[in-house]
Amino acid sequence: MSSICRMSQIMDRIMEEYLREMLKNSNRNIAPYWRDADHSALRIANDAQNVVDDDKKFAVTLDVSQFKPEELTVNLEGRRLTVEGKQEQKNDNSFMSTTFIRSWTLPEDVDLEGVKSELDDKGKLTIEGALVAPVAIVGVEVTID
């Protein structure tokens, strides 16, 4: 075997070991701050909402107490319900923006014309739609001629 082939094999093996070790440690190298971060804050958004989907109504309640009414929008496009909040605070030396978007697809039996929203004095936004009563299928006897 020539020394060039042997050198090539040695280099391949060294590179393979290096890449394997690099990939094994890539989690720590790419985002060490994320791995060790406190992820409990990610659950806050899910704890701040309540969805009711029963045989009488579909309702969503959100805690939007940190937003003013004029900073909130509720849209219904087809069966897609979207709630958005956006606030901006400007000081002499800083700017802060807080936004959120939540969307739900309303069930087929929700009366879209009757969907209403209400914001209480504690900052709870409730969007509610009553269910349409299912159309009763009436049996009709068909005579044979």
Q: Tell me what pLDDT residue 31 has.
A: 56
Identify whether 18 is part of a domain: yes
pLDDT digits (tens, 9 = 90+) for 37-71: 555 545 545 556 888 888 889 999 999 988 999 99
Query: Looking at per-residue confidence, does 27 or 54 come out higher?
Result: 54
Q: What is the CATH number of the domain that holds 103?
A: 2.60.40.790
My answer on whether 55 and 113 are in the same domain is yes
* Stated pTM of the model: 0.60
Domain that holds residue 7: 1-30
Query: Looking at per-residue confidence, does 143 or 47 come out higher?
Result: 143
Query: Looking at per-residue confidence, does 27 or 72 come out higher?
Result: 72
Quick one: average pLDDT of 9-21?
80
Identify whether 4 is part of a domain: yes
- For residue 58, the tally of other CB atoms under 10 A from its CB is 21
pLDDT digits (tens, 9 = 90+) for 90-109: 888 888 888 889 999 999 99
Identify whether 35 is part of a domain: no
Identify whether 58 is part of a domain: yes
My answer on whether 76 and 24 are in the same domain is no
Q: Tell me what pLDDT residue 7 has.
A: 76
> Is 123:63 a contact under the CB 8 Å cutoff?
yes
My answer on whether 25 and 52 are in the same domain is no
My answer on whether 76 and 122 are in the same domain is yes
Query: Looking at per-residue confidence, does 26 or 57 come out higher?
Result: 57
Q: Is the pLDDT of residue 133 over 90?
A: no
Helices (H), the chain: 3-24, 26-30, 32-35, 44-47
My answer on whether 20 and 84 are in the same domain is no
Looking at the structure of the chain, the number of domains it has is 2
Identify whether 39 is part of a domain: no
